[in-house]
Chain A
C-alpha cells in the first residue's frame, strides 16, 4: 500500500480514485471499490446478509457459513454451482449476486445454517446477558424457522469457565465464529485464547492454567455474537432494554476513545466501545471499559465542606456559604501573597478554561499549572512553541500510514492503548516501522514489530540522533520526556532538520485541553504566549478586562515550593493526587503550609483533608464537556446523568467568581466552549522554542541503578477503583534487571530486591530481561507500591539496589500478593455481589489460573 502522509481529506480523495467495480446484487446495479467483499457491497444497496464470523476489522474467515448467497454469474459468464460465503468473496466486474432477498437457494441455505447453529445453542435467552442485543437472537427472528425440528440432545458444558478474572466463558452458548480468538491474535496481538478440540466439542480455550491476559480482553465480549463471553463485572447485572445508552469519551488517557455508557437508575452498569474509525475504530482497552466505578466509592464527596475556624474540622456547608468562604479566602490570599492554581490533568477543556480565566481575572496570577506529575520548564516551552494552538496535528490515520514511528518516553500499550492498537495495525497492514528509544523492548514493542534503540533513561536526547528521522517519520513524545534534559529541544531540532513530524502524547485525558486552555505559567488560552504583550492585550480585550497578568508564572513544582516558604498564600487545587507529584512529601508540606487551600474534588484525597474549603465536583459521567486527544482532536460528550450534588468545575468556579464580585462570563460547559471558540487560536508569533543542551543519564555508583518506570495501564490509579475483577487482571509487579545487574546484585530471577532512596524502600520480585545494564524497570504505581510516594523517585532517578534479606527488608514496603493468588477483599459495594443464583461456578480465585509470567 502506498504510504501517504495526507490529512483525512487527502485519504478520502485517494479512495475515490480507487477502481470501481460494477456488479448486480438482487437486480440492483452497484459500483464499489475493487476488493470489496460481497457482504459489504450488499449493505450498500440496503441488503443485510446475516453473519456471525464476519467482522469488518478482522480478516475474513468464512467459518460460520451464515452469509451464503447465490452467485449465478461470477463475472465471467459462469456461475458458482454452490452458494458462496459473501464474507470471503470479493466483487468482480459483471458479477451477478442473489441474496436471500431474491434467491430461494440462498434463503434456504441461510435458514439451514441458522437452524444448525441453534441445535446446540441453549434456549437461555431470558437469563443471558446478551438477550435483547444478541445477533443470534435477532437473526433467528429474521431468518430462522418459527419452530425447531431438533428434539434430540444438545451439547452441554460445565459453566461458566473463567478464562481470566474478568472474562467468563459459557461454552454451550458459543457458535464458534472465532471472532474472539481472531481479535486477540490479529488486533491485540495477545493470542492467549484459541480453539481447542474439534467438531461440536470445539471450544475457545486458554492454555492450561494460563489466563487470557490481555489489556483488550473486554472487546471479545462486545464482538461475541452470542452470550458466550461475559464479564464478571456485568454478568447478570441488567438487561439491555433497561439500559439508557449515552455516547461518550473515555477519560482514562489522552487517546479519546469513543465509548458508550449504559446506565440504569442513576448508575453506570457498563461501558462499551464506540465506533469511531478516525480514533479507536471499534476497540477500547479494558481500562476504558471496566474502570468506571471509581466515582461511586464510599469516599465520594457529595457536599461542600468548609473548615470550622473554631474546631478546625471540615463541616458540611451550603453551596452559597462554601462559595463565599472560598472566594474570601482566595481573594484575601491573592491580595497578599498570591494564589497558585494546580489543575491536574483530568479536566475537560471547558473546566480547564474556567480555571485559566479565573486565575488570570479573579486571582490575577499566571501561577497555574496542569502538570500534576514531574515536569520541566523545557517541556512548558516546548508546549508553548510546538503544541498550544496548533490544532489537529498528527492523527491516528497518519500513524497508520507512516513509514516510521519513533517512540520516545512512551510505552504505547500502557500509556496510550489506542495508539498501540493503531501502531499494530500500521505495522501489520502497511509495514510501518516502529522504533522505541527505551531501556528494553517491551512486549508491546514486539507486538508492533518494533525495533529498540537501547537507551538509558536520560540519554534520549542524544539517542534521537540515531533514530534515523526523515520526512516519513513521526516522533511521539510521551510525558516522561519531561524528565529528560534537552530531549524536547533535540526532538524539535532533529525533526525540523529532517522534515519529520512531532506529536506530544500526554497520558491524561485533560492534558492537551489544559494546554489549549492556558493552564500553564507561560501560556494563556488559545496558545497565546504570556511573554507576548500583543497576545496579552488581545486576550484582555476579548475578556473585557484592563489587562491580564504579564510575566511567566510559577510551574507546579515552583508553586508548591513557594507555598512552603509562604511566597504564595493560597492554593486552588483541582483533582490532584499528591503521590503523582515529583515530590509528594514536599507537596503535603506545602499544602499544609499554605494559608488557604480550596480543593475541587470528586473523592476525598490527601488534598481535601488539608483544604479549607472542599467543593465536590462532577465526575466525567456526570457532566458535559470535551477532551482534546493527543492529536488535538476535540471529543465532545454529554452528561450521562446529573446527580444533584455534582456541579461541574466550571459551575463551581463561576460561583466562586460571583461570590468574589466577578463575572466569569459563563456557568456552563457549553458557554465556556463557545467563549473559548470565539477567542480562537493565537495567530501571532509563536513562543520561542526551548534551547536546552542534551543531558545525559545520571552516573551511578556501586549498588546504584537508574530507574526506568512508568505506569502500567492497569495499576493502582484511583480512577480504577471499584472493580476487583478488573484489578485482578493487572500484571504482577516485578523488577526487570539485566543478567549483569542481577549478578552484580547477587540475585536471580524470582528473588526479591530492595530499591531504596533516602525516602524509603520497596521490595519487589526480580525478573531477568534484556535491559540495559545498570538500569532497572519496575511499574510506577502497581501492587500497592507508589514509587513516587514511597521512594520519591521516578523515571531517570538513581536508586540503590540490594538483595532482599531479613535485615534489608525490615524497612521496605512490599505489595500484597497479586490478586490472582489471593482473593481480593470484598469491598461491600454492589459490584462485588456474587453472580446470580444457581451460577455456582462463578469465578473464584481457585478457578483462575496463576498469572501469566511477565513476558518482557
Chain B
C-alpha cells in the first residue's frame, strides 16, 4: 500500500523542544521580507498562491484582503483597518487551530504581522475561544516575546511600521465563531450575528474596515511569503491549493492532526493514522465537523478538497474528520450533535432557536424507540424549514447531520419507531473501554 506523503509546513516544528518559544521558532524572516514589500504586492502574492479560507467556507484569502477599501475617499477608506483572527474554534470534531496555537503560536503571530502590513492595519485582534485558557496563555506569551524581540510594536524591523496585537478571550459561545457575532463579542456586546450589509470589509470592528480570517489561513501566510506562491500552488489540487491540517478523531488507531496537500482522501489519511481501530469498520464520517453532511464508506476515495467534497454532497468545512465505526448509533450521534446546536443557538432568529428545540425532542423520541409514524418526515420537514431560513449558517449547520443521516441510514431512524438505539447499538461498544478494546 502506498502511503501518501505528508507535507509538514505548519506542523514542521511541532515536535521541537519547546516549539512554542521564539528560540525554537526563530526570527520572523518572512515578516522581514514582507515589510520590504508593498502591501498590494503582498495581497497579489497571496491571491496568486490560491490560498483559500481554512475556517470552512474556503473563500479566497487574497481576495478577501483586497475588499478592504484603500482609497480614503471611498466609504470606510478614512477609517483605521483591523485584522481579526477567528480563533474561536468550537465546531464539534474540529481541533486544528487550538493545537496549532499550542504548538507553534509564532507561526500565527508572524502571519498576523504580515497580514496587518498587507491590509494596512496597525492593530490586530486574536479572538480565542474562552475555554482554552492554556492556549490563551501560550499565545499571550508568544505575543509578548514578539514584542520584546521587536517583531511587534513600534517601528518593526526599522521599517517605520507599527503593529499591535491583542489576544482576546471569548466567553464560550459557539456563535462567536460566526464572524459578525465575533465582532459584536469583541466589541463587548452579546455575541449575535449582525445584519449584512454592511460587510465587515467595509464596516466591521468598530464600524471600520476589517478582515476576519481563520487561524490556519493566517498561519499559512508566512510560508507563502517565504517560499512564493508557486511553491504553495505546487501542493494540492487545481482549485484547492496548498497543504492543510486534517484532524482525525473517533474510531481510528492514531487520531490527531495530519498535514497533507488538499485533495488527499480519507483512505490515505486512514493509512497514515494506522487505520480503523481493532475490529472496526468505517460506518460514517464527517468531512469537516458536525455541520458538514456526513459521508459513508463509499466516500473513502473522495478527494478532500473544496470541490471534491462538495461533489459528494457535503462540504470540506474545517477538515475535522470524525470517524465512526459499526458500533455507533447514527440516531444517538445525530441527537448529541443536535443537542449541541440547541444549546449553542444564540436565540436571535426563530428557525434556529425554536427548530433546534423541537428537533432535539423529536430525536430523543426516536433514540428511545418511541418514535411515531411520520417522525422521519417531520424531521426532514423541520430541517427544510430551518435550512436557508435562519439568520446565519449555524441554523443550516444544525440540519446537515440530520438530513444526511436520514439519507444514508434511514433504517436506523425507522427502527426508532420500536427499538431504543441503545438496544440496537449498546453504547459501551463504541467506547475505548469496551470489551476487547486494545486501548
- Judge: A and B partners, yes or no: yes
Task: Give the interface of A toward B (CB within 8 A).
Answer: 60-66, 68, 81-83, 88, 108-109, 112-113, 115-117, 119-120, 149-150, 152-153, 155, 175-176, 194-195, 197-202
Given contacts A82-B389, A198-B347, contact A120 B357 (CB under 8 A): yes
**One of A81, A88, A113, A117 near B389 (C-beta < 8 A):** A113
- B358 & A60 in contact (Cβ 8 Å cutoff): no
Assess A149 versus B378: contact at CB under 8 Å? Given A83-B389, A109-B385. Answer: yes
Q: B272-308, CB under 8 A of A: which get 1 and which 0?
A: 0000000000000000000000000000000000000
A152 x B345 contact (CB < 8 A): no
Please give, as numbers and ranges, the residues of chain A lying within 8 Å of B192 by CB-CB distance.
Answer: 195
> Given that A199-B342, A200-B345, A202-B353 are contacting pairs, would A112 and B391 also be in contact in the complex, using a CB cutoff of 8 Å?
no
Q: How far does the alpha carbon of A176 sit from the alpha carbon of B381 in the complex, in Å? A: 23
Residue B235 CB within 8 A of the other chain: no
Query: B408 on the interface (CB 8 Å rule)?
Result: no
| Beta-carbon nearest neighbor of B381 in chain A | A112
What 0/1 pattern do residues 320 to 353 of B give for CB contact below 8 A with A?
A: 0000000000000000000000111111111101
B residues with a Cβ closer than 8 A to A are 173, 175, 190, 192, 195, 342-351, 353-358, 361-362, 365, 378, 381, 384-386, 388-391
Judge whether B173 and A198 touch: CB under 8 Å: yes
**Complex contact A83–B388 (CB within 8 A):** yes
The residue on B at minimum CB distance from A153 is B361
A112:B384 contact, CB within 8 angstroms:
yes
A-B contact number at CB 8 A: 99
The closest CB in chain B to the CB of A90 belongs to: B197
Please give the distance in Å from B170's CB to the nearest CB on chain A. 14
**Complex contact A201–B347 (CB within 8 A):** yes
Secondary structure dominating the interface of B: helix
A109 — which chain B residues lie within 8 A by C-beta?
A: 385, 389
Closest to A115 in B: B385
CB pair A119 B385 closer than 8 Å: no
Cβ–Cβ contact B350 & A64, under 8 A: yes
Are A112 and B347 in touch, CB under 8 angstroms?
A: no
A500 nearest CB across to chain B (Å): 32
Can you name 23 A-B pairs with beta carbons within 8 Å? A60-B195, A63-B391, A64-B350, A65-B350, A65-B390, A82-B388, A83-B388, A83-B389, A112-B351, A112-B381, A116-B354, A116-B355, A120-B357, A152-B365, A153-B361, A176-B347, A198-B173, A198-B175, A198-B347, A199-B343, A199-B345, A200-B356, A202-B348
CA distance A115 to B384 in the complex (A): 13
In the bound complex, residues from chain A placing their C-beta under 8 Å from that of B349 are 62-65
Given contacts A62-B195, A64-B349, A199-B343, contact A112 B358 (CB under 8 A): no
- State whether B350 touches A175 (Cβ < 8 A): yes
Question: How many Å lie between the Cα of A150 and that of B359 in the bound state?
Answer: 10
Per the bound structure, the CA–CA distance linking A63 and B192 in Å amounts to 10
| Minimal beta-carbon separation of A106 from chain B (angstroms) | 11
Q: Which residues of A contact B345 (CB under 8 A)?
A: 198-200
The CA of A175 and the CA of B347, in the complex, are separated in Å by 10
Contact status B347-A116, CB under 8 Å = no
Contact of A200 among B347, B362, B378, B384 (CB under 8 A): B347
Contacts of B357 in A (CB 8 A): 119-120, 155, 199-200
Do A152 and B361 form a contact, CB below 8 Å, given A65-B389, A198-B345?
A: yes
A149 to B373, CA, bound (A): 12
User: Is A198 touching B346 in the complex (CB atoms < 8 A)?
Assistant: yes
In the complex, A68 Cα to B389 Cα: how many Å?
Answer: 8
A82 to B389, CA, bound (A): 7
A201 to B346, CA, bound (A): 9
Whether B195 lies near A119 (C-beta < 8 A) is: no
The reply to whether B354 and A200 form a contact with Cβ atoms under 8 Å apart is yes
Give complex CA distance A66, B389 in Å: 9
Whole-angstrom CA separation of A81 from B385 in the bound complex:
14
Residue of B whose beta carbon sits closest to that of A60:
B195
Contacts of A120 in B (CB 8 A): 354, 357
In the complex, the 3 A-B pairs of residues with the closest C-beta atoms, listed nearest first: A112-B385, A202-B347, A82-B388
B362: which A residues are within 8 A, CB to CB?
Answer: 152
**What residues of chain A lie closer than 8 Å to B354, measured between beta carbons?**
116-117, 119-120, 200
Is B391 a contact of A65 with CB atoms below 8 Å?
Answer: yes
Contact of A199 among B346, B365, B386, B389 (CB under 8 A): B346
What would 11 more interface pairs be, CB under 8 Å, given A65-B390, A120-B357? Answer: A63-B349, A112-B351, A116-B351, A117-B350, A119-B358, A149-B378, A152-B358, A176-B350, A198-B347, A199-B353, A200-B347
Q: Is the CB of B385 within 8 A of A113?
A: yes
CB distance from B400 to the nearest CB of A (A): 15
Given the complex of chains A and B, what is the CA–CA distance between A120 and B350 in angstroms?
Answer: 11
Report the separation of the CA atoms of residues A68 and B249 in the bound assembly, to the nearest whole angstrom.
39
Q: State A550–B224 Cα separation when bound (angstroms).
A: 96
Which residue of B has the minimal Cβ distance to A151?
A: B372
> Which residue of the partner chain, among A61, A65, A81, A195, contacts B190 with CB atoms under 8 Å?
A195
Q: Bound complex: CA of A198 vs CA of B175, how far in Å? A: 10
A residues less than 8 Å from B378 (CB atoms): 149
With a CB–CB cut-off of 8 A, which chain A residues contact B195? 60-62, 88
CB-CB < 8 A to B346: which residues of A? 198-199, 202
Closest chain B CB from A662 CB (angstroms): 68
Complex CA–CA separation, A421 to B439 (angstroms): 69
Q: Is A66 a contact partner of B350 (Cβ separation < 8 A)? A: yes
B232 to chain A, nearest CB (A): 31
Chain B: minimal CB distance from A205 (Å): 11
CB distance from B270 to the nearest CB of A (A): 34
Tell me how far the C-beta of A511 lies from the nearest C-beta in chain B, rounded to whole angstroms. Answer: 44
Residues of A within 8 A of B390 (CB): 65
Smallest CB separation, B402 vs chain A (Å): 15
Residue of B nearest to A68 (CB): B389
- Min Cβ gap A176→B in Å is 6
B347: which of A108, A113, A152, A197 is its contact (CB, 8 Å)? A197
Closest A residue to B355 by CB, please name it.
Answer: A116
> What residues of chain A lie closer than 8 Å to B391, measured between beta carbons?
62-63, 65
- Is the CB–CB distance between B347 and A195 below 8 Å? yes
- What is the CB-to-nearest-CB distance from B202 to chain A, in angstroms, rounded to a whole number? 16
CB distance from B343 to the nearest CB of A (A): 7
Q: Which single residue of chain B is at the shortest CB-CB distance from A155?
A: B357
Bound CA span A660–B355, Å = 77
Residues of A within 8 A of B388 (CB): 81-83
Report which residue of B175, B350, B385, B386 has the largest number of chain A beta carbons within 10 angstroms of its beta carbon: B350
Bound together, the chains give a CA A46 to CA B347 distance in angstroms of 32
Which residues of A have CB within 8 Å of B344?
Answer: 198-199
Q: How far is the CA of A222 from the CA of B345 in the complex (A)?
A: 28
Q: How far is the CA of A119 from the CA of B378 in the complex (A)?
A: 14
Q: Nearest Cβ in chain A — how far from B193, in angstroms?
A: 10
Chain B residue nearest to A111 in the complex (CB):
B385
Give every chain A residue within 8 A of B389 (Cβ-Cβ).
Answer: 65, 68, 82-83, 109, 112-113
Chain A residue nearest to B352 (CB atoms) is A199
Judge whether A63 and B348 touch: CB under 8 Å.
yes
- A116 to B, closest residue via Cβ: B354
> In the complex, A82 Cα to B391 Cα: how many Å?
11
Minimal Cβ-Cβ distance residue in A for B357: A200
Tell me whether B361 and A116 are in contact (CB under 8 A). no
Q: What is the minimal beta-carbon distance from A484 to any residue of chain B, in angstroms?
A: 42
* Docked CA distance A117–B362 (Å): 17
**Smallest distance from the beta carbon of B189 to chain A beta carbons, Å?**
9
Q: Which chain A residues lie closer than 8 Å to B348 at the CB level?
A: 63, 176, 202
Closest CB of chain B to A779's CB: distance in Å? 34
Chain B: minimal CB distance from A30 (Å): 23
| Chain A residues, Cβ within 8 Å of B385 | 108-109, 112-113, 115-116
Q: Can you name the residue of chain B whose Cβ is closest to the Cβ of A117? A: B350
Who on chain A is nearest to B341 by CB? A199
Which of A83, A113, A155 has the most C-beta atoms of chain B within 10 angstroms of its own C-beta? A113
- B355 neighbours in A (Cβ, 8 Å): 116
B1 CB to closest chain A CB (Å) equals: 42
Shortest distance between the CB of A76 and any CB in chain B (Å)? 15
Chain B minimum-CB-distance residue to A177: B350
Q: Which residue of A lies closest to B395 (CB)?
A: A65
- Of listed B175, B349, B355, B378, residue having the most chain A CB within 10 A: B349
Contact B358 A176 (CB under 8 A): no
